[in-house]
């Protein structure tokens, strides 16, 4: 399919060139999005979320930026605040830029004079921090006595990997364009132009020939080009892509030239931003080699590296893509920023190709792995978005690296901009939400009123009101999930292959329709009040993963329409879900609950809970009702168990522990994070020491200290054996097996070391069993000496 698309696109370019209208001569993408300012959303799903963003998240983020030193960075750089203390990361300036961008979008939707005034004050501070030649990077301008380690001795010196000078510029440019378009003021745009002109002066062939360590300046420069018409900005964006690789690191996509990359590697946010920038340059310059590369990369992601939630980035080691089919659930990284980048990239791919499959991925990401990044209250956040949890994940009020928080503020107000797109006299209906829109086609202005209870209901009404009767083509997306295709390709499939009807009516009469690239094509002379009704099948589906995804074998996930579901502790027996098993053929029920999680469709199904028993491999199974909620809404009721992928075979289930000495004990430790305590007695034996599929206890980032973990028994026991499985994520992680450890038992009020009958075992990738002379006690303690340069962790600790 990818090859066909590439061939078609090359042919299109060739034909256009023959006609004297090469792609490079077009101002922008062949398909153009309908600006979110022309799409007024007022549905029950998205409008409340955008209002929370405007009324809670943006003010909250602005306040946190002030409390956490972001504003002070600029004040110190401007000489308006003494001292050289700065915030933690040299990219922290971008939190201010991103929240200005989000505030600008929000003000376009609804005027807010108070917010407008505050943003103006921030822009004044930013301008004062800018150096005379346009340089704007507070961490260098402050000239701290001890500069941040990521900053070189001169400008741009460490840009290839760490310094983020160009990353900051990229977000500045995006914010400046948004603010100018929202308010008509050029205050921030003039600051951005001055900075962009400096980049043009300093970078390029024969000048500084470096590439950005963290991509996004390419997107920002493309936006600056569109607004100012200054082609030097576009040329520089292309230069930054062309100078990248091949002698850099895969971590930041610099191990090959960008046009020679055909698989997704490295840091997922950097990658998604780069692929988005490549799409921009392909559209604005007609460079087909960029198109070839991102077509192949897109296929690699969708076929092998995409979570069912639309998340990308499997591993926390480098916040990166993993190998093909490496999609762990509990340790899934799936960063919120990466989900936002995935939406940007897929939207660009649609604008290039006009194929609904890109919107299928965009929609999946939007409703699931992106929306999960912010709480329903708007003031608690996820950085990674795991697909399973055992109490160790909870939303945070702030992160020292706050990129995901500020990114959410700028994204949510722009959601209406993904609903429609146009190409001359073709009007694309991509997303479904109650809204009114005014769109200018070649044939004239058209007002579209959309009414729906999507995503809970599959009925969508479109009332078409052209300024005057005229011929144009309405292209209505038929989602892949409505055609038994959860995603393009074979990474995921539905358990049922039965085709469900998709019905389309015009003015109340069912009509047959042809489809092109996933769109129902309705070409006719439209007149005022014409009504199109789309009826999509919204039955609950059970999703199966490709057998190559080992973490999802013998499991399924619930999906209804675009919404992926999960099991969460508060809705299920004993607040447990990892021990639940449900038949692949179980019948499900759905009901809308307006009082749960701001109103959601809830799935219920019969299943069984499982429990281990002593001295037996067979499980105790108990029938129970199982409840599933939308994944995006999990973790709004505190830490809990959660899983997206539900076992249908005993081999995949995680049973409740058997009543052993350890499982019945109370855990205490020198570690203050009590959420980790239960991990060491959950009776999960890992695949190896670096297995992160289930929780583990660890002392990172401590090193070279003496720590302890202790069991206080439910009653006095006679014990003579201890087995510990160490967590060791070398060579890249921070934990190693300990330098040494010893066992002590409680004797009266004293702790006494056990008398071992064999030397202590201390190896990775195995249970380290120590036998000792029997002791009768109420508690046992393990004292651990951490390595000189690393921490230590524990998967499991068994006492017999």
201-233 per-position pLDDT tens digit: 999 999 999 999 999 999 999 999 999 999 999
Task: At 327, give phi and psi (nearest 5°).
Answer: -135, 65
Average pLDDT over residues 369-383: 97
In this structure, CATH architecture of domain 666-799: Sandwich (2.60)
CA distances from 398 to 67, 320, 373, 427, 647 (A): 11, 22, 12, 41, 34
| Percent above pLDDT 90 for the chain | 89
Pick the more confident residue, 306 or 317.
306
Residues 685-723: b if buried by 16+ CB within 10 A, e if exposed:
ebeebbbbbbbbbbbbeebeeebebbbebeeebebeebb
- Longest CA–CA span in the chain (Å) reads 94
pLDDT at 796: 96
In CATH, what number does 421-477+501-535 get? 2.60.40.1180
Q: Where in the chain is CATH 2.60.120.260?
A: 666-799
* pLDDT band, very low/low/confident/very high, at 28 (cuts 50, 70, 90): confident
Cβ atoms 307, 332 nearer than 8 A: yes
| Rg for the chain, CA atoms, rounded | 28
pTM of the model: 0.92
Average pLDDT over residues 356-381: 98
pLDDT at 239: 98
Q: Is it the case that residue 162 has pLDDT exceeding 90?
A: no
In the numeric block, which tokens belong to residue 435?
């809204």
pLDDT at 121: 97
Mean pLDDT of the chain: 94
Residues 150-161: b if buried by 16+ CB within 10 A, e if exposed:
bbeeebbebbbe
pLDDT at 3: 38
Q: Where in the chain is CATH 2.60.40.1180?
A: 421-477+501-535
pLDDT at 16: 31
* pLDDT band, very low/low/confident/very high, at 697 (cuts 50, 70, 90): very high
Sign of CA dihedral 36, 42, 43, 44: positive
In the numeric block, which tokens belong to residue 589?
């029920």
Q: Is it the case that residue 350 has pLDDT exceeding 60?
A: yes
Of 10-24, 56-70, 733-747, least confident by mean pLDDT is 10-24
| Residue 143 to residue 768: CA distance in whole angstroms | 52
* pLDDT band, very low/low/confident/very high, at 732 (cuts 50, 70, 90): confident
pLDDT at 15: 27
In the numeric block, which tokens belong to residue 235?
């040329």
pLDDT at 310: 98
* Coil vs helix vs strand at 612: strand
Q: Is it the case that residue 26 has pLDDT exceeding 80?
A: no
Average pLDDT over residues 481-504: 95
Please enumerate in sequence order all residues whose Cβ is within 8 A of that of 433, keeping only pairs 6 or more positions apart, or say none.
41, 43, 45, 46, 416, 419, 450, 452, 454
* 315 CA to centre of own chain: 12
pLDDT at 476: 98
* pLDDT band, very low/low/confident/very high, at 24 (cuts 50, 70, 90): very low
| Residue 175 to residue 171: CA distance in whole angstroms | 6
| Residue 432 to residue 562: CA distance in whole angstroms | 11
pLDDT at 55: 96
Q: Environment class of residue 277 by beta-carbon count within 10 Å: exposed (0-12), middle (13-18) or buried (19+)?
A: buried
| Residue 189 to residue 195: CA distance in whole angstroms | 10
Average pLDDT over residues 143-149: 94
Q: Is it the case that residue 273 has pLDDT exceeding 50?
A: yes
């Amino acid at each position: 399919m990818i090859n066909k698309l590439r061939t078609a696109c090359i042919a299109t370019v060739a034909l256009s060139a023959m006609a004297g209208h090469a792609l490079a001569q077009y101002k922008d993408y062949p398909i153009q999005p309908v600006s979110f300012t022309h799409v007024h959303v007022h549905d029950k799903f998205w409008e409340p979320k955008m209002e929370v963003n405007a009324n809670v998240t943006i003010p909250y983020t602005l306040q946190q930026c002030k409390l956490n030193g972001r504003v002070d960075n600029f004040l110190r750089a401007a000489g308006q605040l003494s001292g050289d203390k700065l915030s933690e990361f040299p990219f922290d300036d971008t939190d201010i830029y991103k929240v200005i961008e989000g505030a600008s979008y929000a003000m376009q939707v609804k005027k807010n004079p108070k917010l407008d005034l505050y943003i103006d004050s921030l822009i004044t501070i930013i301008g004062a921090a800018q150096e005379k030649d346009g340089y704007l990077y507070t961490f260098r301008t402050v000239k701290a006595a001890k500069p941040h380690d990521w900053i070189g001795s001169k400008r741009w010196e460490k840009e290839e990997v760490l310094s983020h000078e160009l990353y900051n510029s990229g977000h500045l440019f995006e914010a400046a364009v948004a603010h100018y378009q929202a308010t008509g003021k050029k205050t921030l745009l003039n600051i951005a132009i001055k900075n962009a002109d400096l980049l043009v002066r300093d970078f390029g062939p024969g000048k500084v020939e470096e590439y950005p360590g963290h991509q996004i300046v390419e997107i920002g420069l493309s936006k600056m080009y569109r607004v100012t018409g200054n082609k030097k900005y576009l040329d520089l964006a292309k230069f930054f892509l062309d100078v990248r690789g091949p002698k850099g690191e895969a971590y930041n996509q610099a191990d090959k030239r960008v046009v020679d990359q055909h698989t997704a590697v490295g840091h997922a946010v950097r990658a998604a931003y780069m692929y988005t920038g490549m799409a921009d340059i392909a559209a604005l310059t007609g460079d087909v080699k960029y198109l070839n590369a991102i077509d192949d990369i897109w296929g690699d992601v969708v076929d092998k590296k995409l979570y069912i939630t639309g998340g990308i980035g499997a591993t926390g080691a480098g916040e990166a893509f993993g190998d093909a089919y490496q999609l762990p659930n509990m340790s899934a990284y799936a960063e919120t920023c990466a989900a936002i980048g995935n939406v940007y990239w897929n939207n660009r791919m649609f604008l290039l190709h006009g194929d609904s499959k890109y919107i299928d991925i965009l929609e999946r990401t939007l409703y699931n792995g992106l929306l999960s990044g912010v709480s329903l209250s708007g003031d608690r956040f996820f950085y990674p978005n795991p697909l399973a949890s055992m109490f160790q994940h909870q939303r945070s009020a702030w992160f020292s690296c706050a990129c995901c928080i500020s990114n959410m503020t700028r994204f949510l107000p722009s959601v209406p901009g993904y609903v429609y797109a146009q190409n001359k006299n073709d009007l694309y209906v991509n997303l479904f939400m109650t809204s009114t829109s005014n769109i200018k086609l070649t044939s004239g202005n058209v007002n579209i009123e959309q009414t729906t209870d999507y995503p809970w209901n599959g009925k969508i009404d479109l009332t078409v009101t052209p300024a005057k009767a005229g011929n144009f083509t309405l292209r209505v997306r038929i989602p892949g999930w409505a055609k038994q295709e959860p995603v393009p390709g074979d990474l995921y499939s539905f358990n049922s292959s039965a085709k469900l009807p998709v019905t389309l009516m015009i003015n109340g009469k069912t009509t047959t329709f042809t489809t092109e690239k996933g769109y129902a094509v309705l070409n006719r002379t439209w007149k005022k009040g014409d009504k199109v009704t789309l009826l999509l099948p919204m039955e609950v589906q059970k999703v199966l993963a490709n057998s190559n995804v080992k973490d999802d074998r013998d499991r399924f996930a619930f999906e209804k329409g675009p919404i992926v579901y999960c099991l969460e502790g508060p809705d299920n027996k004993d607040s447990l879900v990892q021990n639940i098993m449900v038949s692949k053929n179980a019948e499900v029920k759905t009901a809308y609950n307006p009082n749960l999680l701001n109103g959601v469709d809830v799935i219920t199904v019969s299943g069984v809970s499982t429990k281990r028993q002593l001295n037996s491999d067979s499980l105790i199974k108990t029938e129970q009702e199982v409840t599933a909620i939308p994944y995006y809404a999990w973790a709004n009721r505190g830490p809990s168990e959660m899983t997206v992928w539900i076992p249908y075979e005993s081999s995949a289930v995680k049973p409740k522990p058997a009543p052993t000495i350890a499982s019945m004990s109370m855990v205490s430790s020198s570690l203050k994070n009590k959420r980790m305590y239960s991990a060491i007695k959950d009776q999960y034996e890992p695949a190896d020491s670096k297995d992160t599929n289930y929780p583990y206890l660890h002392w990172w980032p401590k090193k070279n200290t003496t720590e302890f973990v202790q069991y206080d028994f439910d009653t006095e026991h006679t014990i003579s054996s201890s087995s510990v499985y160490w967590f060791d994520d070398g060579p890249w992680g921070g934990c190693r097996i300990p330098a040494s450890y010893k066992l002590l038992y409680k004797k009266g009020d004293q702790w006494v070391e056990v008398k071992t009958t064999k030397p202590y075992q201390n190896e990775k990738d195995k249970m380290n069993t120590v036998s000792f002379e029997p002791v009768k006690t109420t508690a046992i303690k393990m004292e651990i000496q951490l390595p000189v340069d690393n921490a230590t962790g524990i998967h499991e600790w068994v006492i017999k």
